[in-house]
A and B are shown apart, each in its own frame.
Chain A
Amino acid sequence: MTFEMSQANTPQPGTVAKPPAVPSSPPAQPKPEPARAKDLSVRINSRFPTVAVNWMKEKRLKVTTTPDKVKEVAFFVRDDLGFDHISAVSGVDWIAKNELEIVYFAGSVKPGWADFVVAVAERVARDNPVAPTLIEVWPGAEYHERETHEMLGINFQGHPNQSHLLLPEDWNDLPPLRKDYVSPGR
């Protein structure tokens, strides 16, 4: 679901260069949501022009990138925008498009941005699902990635341990959250 940006919120010329990802003063009067989201998306696009940024809703921004750039984008989201921890990692099997999508939901504990989530998404081919691990960006992603690996069969390059976490050790079927895996009895 994309959120149509309203004309009233077109960025002022100065917004791109504005440095603070975190408001320096306490957020007594937080800015209206669309303006904040707009600000973030302009900053992401000025650094990465080819990255697609769209809204899931006012307080959710989805950044869709490619596996070769995802680490760079993630570092930017963490260091420049201030999204300091991983909230969840989700994987989606888009079987009709023959693609797997990995979505990192990054949150922030900084005042004023604690209600905001930036989703960093990437798509990989279903028959060769390889993506770099983002543990060095967000160490909390370690077990989330391990789960995504076993549930969707995505190979995270550089991950220290991709053994089964939730599935039995001897699971030798398809990764269960792929759409072509059918639960027994269905």
Chain B
Amino acid sequence: MTVESEYSPDADRIMAVSLGPQHPGAGHFRIKLWLDGDFLVRSEPDAGYVHRGEEKMGEYRNYIQNVPHLERPVILDSCGILMPYALGVDELMGNSIPPRAQYLRVIMCEANRIISHMYYLGILGIFVGHSTMIEWAMGDRDFWIDFAERIGGARVTFAYIIPGGVRNDMPAFAVEKGLKTCDWFDKRLDEYEKIFLKNPLFLQRSEGVGVLSKEDAIRLGTTGTVLRASGVKHDLRRDEPYCVYPELDFEVPVLEGGDSWARAYVALLEMRESVKIIRQALKKIPPGPVRLKLGPQPRVPAGEVYSRTEAARGEMSYHIISDGSPRPYRLKIGTPSFKNLRALPHLLRNVHVADIPVIYWSLNYWPVEADR
């Protein structure tokens, strides 16, 4: 921690401290803190250390060239960030996606949701000093990465979901591997519940810490696990169904607490549902083509579209404007971390310094995703 040479004008005892910019587990980020002893009076997030200008880059590349660089902000959830992009471009072009491709999109999105949530819970574990959690979570996450690798060919950034379908078909042995991983992972989730989420030590650190009320969660525009942990049943997979989600049976877990523990537990419950979805999709997937022949430089008719889906951290959205040329005129990316960022200064005030890491990381905030 470095101390800034600025003091609050109203009270000599308030000290301004800069937490970061460092890499607390997900990318460079800084929070400005105003402290009274070990009591946090107020705070202000300072984002932008990993801003890459993805939106400007998108205007220089055509619709297919945009695929690989758009997934870089969220390497753990790379299918989650490409899904609304592909849906938006498909909608502009009027593509009708083959059913097998839609199933593959759903399978990969759900595998990415598990990969992302495992990382989230693992880092949350190490933030509260629970070393076993990070070791277990990182290890088990790898089995899902293995599964995704069998379909997408890479371990984190697959560039798998593209306008017009998916990049390649799934090999037959991936089904068996997927079903095996599902069965095994269900049992592991029970163990995670025992060792971490129902562990009295973790409960002490997270229960009642950083409570976000239902009204504030809606008012501040939060999304994803943060919103659902505050008692709002809002999940675009259920509310604005896309791809083949209507054909699959799953629940939307909602908790009422709104505290850091609820935000973590919702993520665990969501992984159970993701396993359910993957298992059903692997059994139901029909044969057929997986990709339309769009060519390397598809012509996209002029138009405007706002597409959104439920990515791992919440609502991922794109505002795409096409002027009929091969490149988008405007490509606005709305990421869930950026939408949840407003809740951070709201929660990080009137708490103790020891609660900062738990509150910060329970929001599932990913600086690279927010900065784009």
A: residues with CB less than 8 A from B are 1, 56-57, 59-60, 62, 84-88, 90-93, 103, 105, 107, 109, 111, 114-115, 117, 119, 138-144, 147, 151, 164-168, 176-177, 181, 183, 186
Contact = CB atoms under 8 A, between A and B. Distances in A.
Contact of A88 (B60, B236, B319, B341): B319
A105 B338 contact: no
B140 interface: no
Contact of A186 (B60, B236, B339, B342): B60
Given A57-B305, A90-B330, A167-B48, A139 B342 contact: yes
A169 to B, nearest CB: 9
Contact of A166 (B51, B222, B303, B330): B51
Main secondary structure of the interface of B (DSSP, over half): mixed
A105 to B, nearest CB: 6
Nearest to A105: B306
B315 interface: yes
Nearest to B303: A1
B216 to A, nearest CB: 9
B91 interface: yes
A87 B304 contact: no
Interface string B288-331: 00000000000001111110100000010101010000000110
Contacts of A177: 55-56
B53 interface: yes
Interface of B: 47-48, 51, 53, 55-57, 60, 91-92, 218-222, 227, 232-234, 236, 239-240, 301-306, 308, 315, 317, 319, 321, 329-330, 332, 334, 338-339, 341-342, 371-372
17 contacts: A1-B301, A1-B304, A57-B91, A59-B240, A62-B304, A85-B220, A92-B329, A105-B317, A109-B227, A117-B308, A138-B219, A139-B220, A140-B342, A147-B338, A164-B48, A166-B51, A176-B56
Contact of B219 (A60, A87, A90, A140): A140
A92 B305 contact: no
B47 A166 contact: yes
B91 A105 contact: no
B185 to A, nearest CB: 29
A56 B318 CA distance: 13
Nearest to B341: A143
A87 B240 CA distance: 14
B48 A166 contact: yes
What 4 A-B pairs have minimum CB-CB distances, sorted nearest first?
A: A140-B221, A88-B334, A1-B303, A115-B240
A167 to B, nearest CB: 7
Contact of A142 (B218, B315, B332, B342): B342
Nearest to A119: B306
B159 to A, nearest CB: 22
Determine which residue in B305, B317, B330 has the highest number of CB atoms from chain A within 10 A of its CB, and name it.
B330
Contacts of A1: 92, 301-305
A105 B304 CA distance: 13
A140 B306 contact: no
Contacts of A85: 218-221
Given A142-B342, A166-B47, 14 more contacts: A57-B305, A60-B305, A60-B306, A62-B304, A84-B219, A87-B315, A87-B334, A105-B306, A114-B236, A117-B308, A119-B306, A140-B221, A143-B342, A183-B53
